[in-house]
Structure formats: C-alpha cells, structure tokens
Amino acid sequence: MNIPPHMWGYRLSKVTESIRPVVSDYCDHLKKYWRDGEGFYISGLAGAGKTGAAVVILRCARTHNLSCTFITMTDLRECVRGKVAHNGELSVLDRCKTVDFFVLDSLCVEDAKDLVFGAHALRGLLESRIQAGRVTLITSSMSREQLVAFPYLKDWAHKLPMLPVEGPNRNTTRASERESSILKLMGK
C-alpha cells in the first residue's frame, strides 16, 4: 500500500475531531461507499490530519480485502517519469487506475499546473477512476476554489465531495513536543 511508516499506527481515535464522525461513518459503511465509488477530496492546512484520515479509511478497506494503493503526488510524478513498473507487469500508473481504493496524497498547486510533467497523466488517472466508479481519496492543501481554477481539474473536482479538515498543524506541535523532550533529556 506504500503508507509512510510513521502513519501505520494511525487509528480513528487520532483523526482530527472536525472530521472524525465522517471518517467513522465511512469506515462503518465502507462496502456501500465502495460499491457506489464514493471518495473524498480532503483539504486543509499542512499537518491538520488529512493524510491520517485517508490512511484510516485505506486500512479499513484492507480489512475488507479490497485492493489499495497509497502514493504521494511527488512519487506518482516520479513513477510516471521513469515508467516504473508495479510487480513487473503493470506500470504504477496503471495500478493506480485499477485498485479498489486509491489515495493520492499531497496534491498541491504546483502539481495542478498543466505545464508540470505528469499533469496529463494525473488528469487521465482521475478521469479513468471516476468513469470506472472506483474510490479515490485525494489529500491537498488546495481549496475547492483553487482546484477548479485549473481547467482540466474542474471537470472532476465537483465529482468528489469536499471534506475540509480544521485543526492545528500537528506536525509543528509534534516537532515542538520532540524538541522539549530532547531538551529535558539533555537537562536544559
């Protein structure tokens, strides 16, 4: 699934409070959402818990024996550039098109520009998943307004419900906590 190692321990109890009920309901009724091909566009500030929410849903999908892939936009772009194969047969891009649950993590403004390498592949990937009724979860710091400003993205942007995440930057909070712990250990 390619979930980052530091995210494997992420559980529903850690999901940001503003969206925990939605994520809980999604997991409770996952088979229905899967049959209906319903995913989310999860947006919010950096560190607010977007990736964690997507990971919880993806892990839930795995408990139902559904095929899943998690990939960051940066990694997807590099795989498209290098025509990287998945298990020697399908390309990573083709694998992303065919899995039951797909998480595209960290889509940003720079990735959405038509001039960026891989933008055409991204458009084709999203269009094929939506046409096939496959679940797609996208995490991004871009608002819906920013997203629809890009002509090739606005076609599918309205097909994925927006799930806004509100909360503090947990990355900064965790970094401060680690720093405090280190300083205590050093006696400072």
Residue carrying the six token digits 């994925």: 160
For the chain, domain boundaries: 5-185
Averaged pLDDT, 4-9: 87
Averaged pLDDT, 127-151: 89
pLDDT tens-digit series, residues 15-66: 999 999 999 999 999 999 999 999 999 999 888 899 999 999 999 999 999 9
Contact of 41 with 161, CB cutoff 8 Å: yes
Structure-token pair, residue 76: 């997807």
Task: Look up the CATH superfamily of 5-185.
Answer: P-loop containing nucleotide triphosphate hydrolases (3.40.50.300)
Contact of 22 with 164, CB cutoff 8 Å: no
Q: What does the buried/exposed string (b/e) look like for 37-46 if buried means 16 or more CB atoms within 10 Å of the residue's CB?
A: bbbbbbbbee
pLDDT tens-digit series, residues 80-109: 887 777 766 788 889 999 999 999 999 987
Model-level pTM?
0.85
Phi, psi of 173 (to 5 degrees): -60, -45
From the list 26, 29, 24, 1, the residue with the least C-alpha distance to 11 is: 24
